[in-house]
A and B are shown apart, each in its own frame.
Chain A
Amino acid sequence: DTGVSQDPRHKITKRGQNVTFRCDPISEHNRLYWYRQTLGQGPEFLTYFQNEAQLEKSRLLSDRFSAERPKGSFSTLEIQRTEQGDSAMYLCASSFTYGEQFFGPGTRLTVL
């Protein structure tokens, strides 16, 4: 396993469409995190999983956002009815419990 991977790397969509991103963590890691980063800002926490359980969600995560990690391995982040304000880099990271986080390359979303 060479690290955290994310797919797609770039996504351009029209406002109102749904998008789904995938994150494949380092296989031994039990924690998986989703972050969002807008231009010129540091990342903002969205949610995290301990194995398949979603343990914490930021208030930034509106009802249009949903994340799953069905088998405790890969995770998906879905955004429904995208808005222009959703344009950002979506970052995934994984770690052992309380361990150092390893980040994926990110998915850059552009909503037209």
Chain B
Amino acid sequence: KNEVEQSPQNLTAQEGEFITINCSYSVGISALHWLQQHPGGGIVSLFMLSSGKKKHGRLIATINIQEKHSSLHITASHPRDSAVYICAVSPNTGNQFYFGTGTSLTVIP
């Protein structure tokens, strides 16, 4: 049983398209994180949020605590956005992260 589920697993988009990646979780959380992982393994934290919405450039992250759901949106997608996007949650109990399996995004020029 995965505490964090992401969809879709794979996503291919044309440059310029609006992209949405979804994350659902089953535990009570103190925060939800969206991470970006490029080929080669390096992980970059994009957002940490516990309510509402955050925006950074073309990236927008939203969370609905009652529904235990979060979305990551990319506006005007670009080939350099191609990466694996991982959702992770910090549960209320304990300090370990629970990670989703990631969404592999490919943006075609």
Nearest to A90 among chain B residues (CB) is: B41
Q: Which residues of A contact B86 (CB under 8 A)?
A: 42-43
CB-based contact B101/A41 at 8 Å: yes
Nearest to B30 among chain A residues (CB) is: A98
Q: Residues of B at under 8 Å CB distance from A?
A: 4, 30-31, 33, 35, 40-45, 48, 86, 88, 90, 94-102
Known: A42-B86, A42-B101, A101-B33. A48 touches B41 (CB 8 A): no
Q: Which residues of A contact B42 (CB under 8 A)?
A: 103, 105-106
Number of interface residues of A (CB under 8 A): 24
* Contact partner, B41, options A98, A100, A101, A108, Cβ 8 Å: A108
CB-based contact B96/A45 at 8 Å: yes
CB-based contact A42/B99 at 8 Å: yes
**Secondary structure of the B side of the interface?**
strand
Q: Which residues of A contact B98 (CB under 8 A)?
A: 45
Q: Which residues of A contact B97 (CB under 8 A)?
A: 33, 35, 43, 45, 101
Q: Residues of A at under 8 Å CB distance from B?
A: 33, 35, 37, 40-45, 48, 55-56, 58, 89, 91, 93, 98, 100-103, 105-106, 108
Q: Which residues of B contact A55 (CB under 8 A)?
A: 95
**Secondary structure of the A side of the interface?**
strand
Q: Which residues of B contact A42 (CB under 8 A)?
A: 4, 86, 88, 99-102
Q: Which residues of B contact A103 (CB under 8 A)?
A: 35, 42-45
Q: Which residues of B contact A40 (CB under 8 A)?
A: 101
Closest 3 CB pairs of A and B: A42-B99, A45-B96, A103-B43
A57 to chain B, nearest CB (A): 9
CB-based contact B96/A58 at 8 Å: yes
Interface-centre pick from B43, B96, B101, B102 (highest chain A CB count, 10 A): B43
